[in-house]
Structure 1
Amino acid sequence: NRYKLKRGKFHLHRRKIIFTVRVTERWNRLPREDVESPSLEIFQTHLDAALCNLV
Structure 2
Amino acid sequence: NSFKLKAGRFRLDIRKKVFTMRVVKHWNRLPGEVVDAPSLEAFKARLDGALSNLI
* Aligned-pair identity (%): 56
Structure 1, residues 2-31: CA drift from partner, whole Å, max 9, x if none?
311121112222111110101222111111
Distance 1:19 1:10 in 2: 14
Q: How well do the aligned residues superpose, as a CA RMSD in angstroms?
A: 2.1
Q: Which runs of 5+ in 2 are unaligned?
A: none
* TM-score (ref. length: structure 2): 0.71
Q: Which has the higher contact order (CA 8 A, sep 6+)?
A: 2
Cα–Cα, structure 1 residues 50 and 13, in superposed 2: closer, same or farther, change >3 Å? Answer: farther
TM-score (norm: length of structure 1): 0.71
Aligned residues: 55
Q: Does residue 20 in structure 1 map to residue 20 in structure 2?
A: yes
